[in-house]
C-alpha cells in the first residue's frame, strides 16, 4: 500500500463536490489526472469508493467510511505540523531553569519570568532551586538549560553572561549600634559576629563575601545556616549581623536594617550560565534573549 496525502486530498475534494470536474477545478488540476489518481487510490485501498454513472457520482459505504477517516488523518497531520512548528518557534516545549535562592529577588529575573509566562503559556517551566555549585553538573550534562548563579569558577563546558552587578549590603538588627549609620565599611563589619552561609552549602556568596572581609581581618562567624532567609531570620532575632546582596531588601522585616557598604569592591555578580555543547531549545533561547536584553537595557533597576 502506497497511499500519499495528496491522494486523500483528491479523494476528499471529489467526495465533497460529488463531481470530478468541480473537484479538479478546486484542486487546480485537470480532470483526467484526477480520475486516474482516484482509480489508483481505490486500487491501493482495495475497495470501490465512488459509484459512478454518466450523470452522477456518489460515495459507496466504503467511501463514506474512508471520507471520515481521511478527514481525521489530514487533521492529525496538520495538528502534528502545527505542534512541530510551535515547538521550533519556542511557543511550546519546556524550559529547565536552575537558580539560586537570591535570583528571584532580582527584578530583571522575576519580571522576565512573568513576561515569558504570559507570552508563552504553553511552555512548561521546570525550576530547580539549588546553590551555585550544585548547578554546574546538571548544566554541563544538559539536564538544565539555563542556570542563574553567583560568580564562581566554571568548567570549560559552560559559558556565562553577567546579568547584574549587585551591591552588597550589611544587614543588622534595628537595635544594633550600627543601625542608624548612613553606611559602614568592611573593616567595621569584620569584627562583628557574622550570621553566614554553611561552607558546604555550595553558594557562590560564601567565597565572595569572605574574600572581601579577609583583607580587613579574620571574620567571626557566629552562626552558619543553609539559606539566606534563615540568615535574615537570625539577624532579626539579634544573633549577629550579615552581608547579603541588595536584592534581598525586597524581604521586609521590621527588626532588620539594611546599610550600604562604602567599600567599592562590595559587589556581587549574578550570572546566567549555559552549556557550550548542548543545544538549547527554542524556548530556552527565547528566555535567554529576553533576560539578557533586560540586563543590558537595565530597565528594571
* Rounded-to-integer distance, Cα 136 and Cα 133, Å: 6
What nine digits make up the cell of 63? 467511501
pLDDT score recorded for residue 167:
93
Number of domains in the chain: 3
Q: Where a domain ends, among 72, 89, 106?
A: 89
User: Are 13 and 140 within one domain?
Assistant: no
Q: Where a domain ends, among 53, 70, 89?
A: 89
- By CB atoms closer than 10 A (0-12, 13-18, 19+), residue 299 is exposed
User: Are 148 and 291 within one domain?
Assistant: yes
Structure letter (DSSP) for residue 130: -
Q: What does the H/E/C string look like for 237-271?
A: CCCCEEEEEHHHHHCCCCCEEEEEECCCCCEEEEE
User: Are 133 and 279 within one domain?
Assistant: yes
User: Are 9 and 25 within one domain?
Assistant: yes
Q: Is the dihedral of CA 100, 105, 109, 111 positive or negative?
A: positive
Q: Where a domain ends, among 56, 89, 122?
A: 89
- Helical spans, DSSP H, in the chain: 5-17, 20-27, 31-45, 61-88, 107-119, 132-140, 186-189, 204-213, 228-236, 282-297
Structure letter (DSSP) for residue 193: E
Residue of 248, 245, 250 whose CA lies nearest to 261: 245
Task: CATH number of the domain at 224, please.
Answer: 3.40.190.10
User: Are 278 and 159 within one domain?
Assistant: yes
User: Are 159 and 170 within one domain?
Assistant: no
User: Are 85 and 98 within one domain?
Assistant: no
User: Are 40 and 69 within one domain?
Assistant: yes
Give the list of residues 6+ apart from residue 289 with CB closer than 8 angstroms, or none: none
What residue numbers bound the domain in which 203 lies?
Answer: 166-268
User: Are 190 and 204 within one domain?
Assistant: yes
Hey, is 171 helix, strand or coil?
Answer: strand
Task: CATH number of the domain at 10, please.
Answer: 1.10.10.10
Q: What are phi and psi of 109, to 5 degrees?
A: -75, -50
The whole-number mean pLDDT for each consecutive block of 10 residues of the chain, a chain of 301 residues, reads 89 94 93 93 93 90 94 90 76 87 88 91 90 93 95 93 93 95 94 88 80 91 88 94 90 92 93 94 92 74 46
User: Are 156 and 170 within one domain?
Assistant: no
pLDDT score recorded for residue 20:
93
Give the list of residues 6+ apart from residue 264 with CB closer than 8 angstroms, or none: none
Residue of 287, 282, 284, 286 whose CA lies nearest to 84: 282
User: Are 176 and 212 within one domain?
Assistant: yes
pTM above 0.75, yes or no: no
Q: What are phi and psi of 91, to 5 degrees?
A: -90, -15
| Dihedral angle of Cα 82, 144, 128, 232, to the nearest 10 degrees | -130
Instruction: Tell me which residue has cell 572581609.
Output: 213
* Rounded-to-integer distance, Cα 249 and Cα 258, Å: 7
Residue 295's CB is within 10 A of a number of other CB atoms, namely: 21
Amino acid at each position: 500500500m502506497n497511499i500519499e496525502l495528496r491522494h486523500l486530498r483528491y479523494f476528499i475534494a471529489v467526495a465533497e463536490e460529488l463531481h470530478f470536474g468541480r473537484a479538479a477545478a478546486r484542486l487546480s488540476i485537470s480532470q483526467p489526472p484526477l480520475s486516474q489518481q482516484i482509480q489508483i487510490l481505490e486500487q491501493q485501498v482495495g475497495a470501490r469508493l465512488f459509484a459512478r454513472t454518466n450523470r452522477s457520482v456518489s460515495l459507496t459505504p466504503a467511501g463514506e467510511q474512508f471520507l471520515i477517516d481521511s478527514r481525521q488523518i489530514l487533521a492529525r497531520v496538520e495538528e502534528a505540523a502545527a505542534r512541530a512548528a510551535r515547538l521550533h518557534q519556542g511557543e511550546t516545549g519546556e524550559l529547565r531553569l536552575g537558580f539560586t535562592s537570591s535570583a528571584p529577588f532580582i527584578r530583571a529575573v522575576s519580571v522576565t519570568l512573568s513576561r515569558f509566562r504570559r507570552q508563552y503559556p504553553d511552555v512548561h517551566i521546570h525550576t530547580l532551586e539549588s546553590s551555585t555549585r550544585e548547578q554546574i553538573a546538571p548544566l554541563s550534562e544538559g539536564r538544565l538549560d539555563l542556570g542563574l548563579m553567583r560568580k564562581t569558577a566554571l568548567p570549560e563546558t559552560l559559558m556565562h553572561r553577567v546579568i547584574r552587578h549587585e551591591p552588597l549590603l550589611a544587614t543588622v538588627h534595628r537595635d544594633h549600634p550600627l543601625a542608624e549609620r548612613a553606611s559602614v565599611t568592611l573593616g567595621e563589619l569584620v569584627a562583628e559576629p557574622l550570621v553566614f552561609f554553611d561552607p558546604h552549602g555550595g553558594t557562590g556568596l560564601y567565597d565572595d563575601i569572605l574574600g572581601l572581609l579577609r583583607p580587613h581581618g579574620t571574620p567571626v562567624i557566629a552562626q552558619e545556616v543553609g539559606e539566606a532567609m534563615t540568615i535574615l531570620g537570625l539577624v532579626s532575632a539579634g544573633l549577629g549581623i550579615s552581608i547579603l546582596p541588595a536584592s534581598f531588601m525586597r524581604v521586609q522585616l521590621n527588626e532588620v536594617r539594611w546599610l550600604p557598604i562604602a567599600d567599592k569592591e562590595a559587589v556581587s555578580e549574578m550570572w546566567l550560565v549555559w552549556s557550550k555543547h548542548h543545544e538549547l531549545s527554542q524556548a530556552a533561547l527565547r528566555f535567554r534573549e529576553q533576560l539578557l536584553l533586560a540586563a543590558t537595557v537595565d530597565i528594571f533597576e
